[in-house]
Amino acid sequence: MEDKKFNVNIPEGYDGRPIEIIFREGTAADQLPNKEPQKIEISGVIGSPLRFLEKRVDLLDQKKCNIQVDRESMKIKLTINESDYYKGTITGTVTLSQVFSAFGINTGKKWEPNKLGNFIKMHRSYFKDKQEWMLLVDKLKSFNAKVNQSIEKKKIESGSYSDCISAEVNSNLPAFFRVSLPVFVGTEDTSIEVEFDHEIDGKDVQLTLVSPGAMEVLESYRNSCIDQVLEGIKSVAPDIVIIEL
């Protein structure tokens, strides 16, 4: 076996006790490749930016962060290290509940009466008055309406004429119905009054669902929960700029 020599540096103040030396032969393991840092992109409920700041504010330079508030889209976005290519974003959103979105209230969604009847039939749990629910399903599935149209000719000052067509729909549906459901994810059921709008498409009549009450709930909750989160952010990180879009 070939003799091998090693240079050993004796530490200052060595007291003469044996020194154990371990050496290994073979090829050294490959060095792990250097990787660039990852961008932080987190999306969650409306309070997510506040939750992040509560646990990370001591690690951040608040002067390099910003908060963007988009009330129309019901979002709050926190950006950290804003001038850095690897800046991070934490976005909180107020989200409509799945069942509220499925009804299509205040969205202009058009329903064929029979299909709306089948939909409401499968969502009985959101009707506190089961008698009202049963009658509503029956009327939708046996929907009938009378459309009265009138045509009025109008003479314009320039001498030309135009035809004005107006239509009135009389149907067997009630003026409104009431449902109790969560408007937003994570909120309790809210009782809202829903009205029918009739839209004429040739000889067919389609229905849209509208609810001024649901709009009031949406506006009130959206603003209150966003304002609550912003107040929390101001308390935890007062030097972060807040920008309303």
pLDDT tens digits for range 42-95: 999 899 999 999 999 999 999 999 999 999 999 999 999 999 988 999 999 988
User: Residue 157 has what pLDDT?
Assistant: 53
Q: Which of 52, 90, 44 is nearest to 68 (CA)?
A: 90
- pTM score of the predicted model: 0.65
pLDDT given for residue 131 in this prediction: 93
Alpha helix stretches (DSSP H) within the chain: 48-56, 98-103, 113-121, 130-141, 212-236
Amino acid at 208: T
Residue stretches of the chain with pLDDT short of 70: 1-6, 23, 28, 145-171, 201-203
Point out which residues pair with 77 in neighbouring strands: 68, 91
DSSP structure class, residue 20: -
Residues 201-230 as b/e (b if ≥16 CB within 10 A, e otherwise) read: eeeebbbbbbbebbeebbeebbeebbeebb
What pLDDT is attached to residue 43? 93
Residue 102 has a pLDDT of: 96
pLDDT of residue 31: 75
Which pLDDT score is estimated for 150? Answer: 45
Q: Is 82 exposed, middle or buried (0-12, 13-18, 19+ CB in 10 A)?
A: middle
Only one residue has tokens 């030097």, namely 239
The whole-number pLDDT of residue 13 equals 76
Cβ neighbors of 18 (< 8 A, separation 6 or more) are none
